[in-house]
Amino acid sequence: MRQLQLMDRIQRCEENGWGDLLSKVDQVTQSLIDTPMAARQIKTALLGWGREVDDRCNSLPITQEELIARHPYMSEE
Summarised one tens digit per residue, pLDDT across range 3-22 is 789 999 999 999 999 999 99
At residue 77, the pLDDT reads 54
Residue 1 has pLDDT above 80, yes or no: no
Q: Which band of pLDDT confidence, cut at 50, 70 and 90, is reported for residue 33?
A: confident
DSSP letter string over 11-32? HHHHHHT-HHHHHHHHHHHHHH
**Does residue 51 contact residue 6 with C-beta atoms inside 8 Å?**
no
Summarised one tens digit per residue, pLDDT across range 53-62 is 999 999 988 8
Q: What is the mean pLDDT of residues 24-31?
A: 93
